[in-house]
A = this chain, B = another copy of it.
């Protein structure tokens, strides 16, 4: 605890970080298991499908996508492998850059996403939003907006 003083942190500050950690892990695990049992869809896969669904023409370059879902390039390669195997995503060559590849959301993928989304949203509601007081959501947003939400280094 002496160390805290050395770095000028209060115990409260440290606790806030720990709570943030625990809260996120807790919510993420809940979402993961709900999605898994109900739709056989890991959270990471859900995130990928969502990003693709929101992207123009339902497609995104691998590199681009990797940044958005907080995954390393290699991690994304394997994940897309699995999603492609399951027919939820397809790989398509990039016309103007032969190195590039698009990950494209298939119709099957879109359907699966639509099917899983209620579960996902209910989970967020139950484990996160409903527990906050009115107006606090805006507060949290403002707070989080100041944090580094940059891409993976």
Given contacts A128-B147, A147-B128, contact A24 B24 (CB under 8 A): yes
**Does A36 reach chain B (CB closer than 8 Å)?**
no
Minimum C-beta distance from A134 to chain B (A): 12
> In the bound complex, do residue A25 and residue B148 qualify as a contact, i.e. CB atoms below 8 Å apart?
no
Given contacts A15-B141, A131-B147, contact A3 B152 (CB under 8 A): no
Q: How far is the CA of A25 from the CA of B139 in the complex (A)?
A: 20
Q: How far is the CA of A86 from the CA of B45 in the complex (A)?
A: 36
> In the bound complex, do residue A3 and residue B141 qualify as a contact, i.e. CB atoms below 8 Å apart?
no
Instruction: List A residues 49-85 near B (Cβ within 8 Å).
Output: 70
Given contacts A124-B13, A136-B143, contact A117 B19 (CB under 8 A): no
Residues on the B chain within 8 Å of A12, using CB: 137-138, 141
Residues on the B chain within 8 Å of A87, using CB: none
Copies of this chain in the oligomer = 2
> In the bound complex, do residue B4 and residue A121 qualify as a contact, i.e. CB atoms below 8 Å apart?
yes
Interface of A (DSSP majority class): helix
Of the candidates B9, B24, B117, B140, which one forms a contact with A143 in the assembled complex, judged by CB atoms under 8 Å apart? B140
**Does A97 reach chain B (CB closer than 8 Å)?**
no
18 contacts between A and B (CB under 8 A): A7-B117, A8-B125, A9-B129, A12-B141, A17-B129, A19-B141, A19-B145, A21-B24, A21-B28, A23-B147, A23-B149, A26-B70, A27-B147, A127-B148, A131-B146, A139-B143, A140-B140, A140-B143
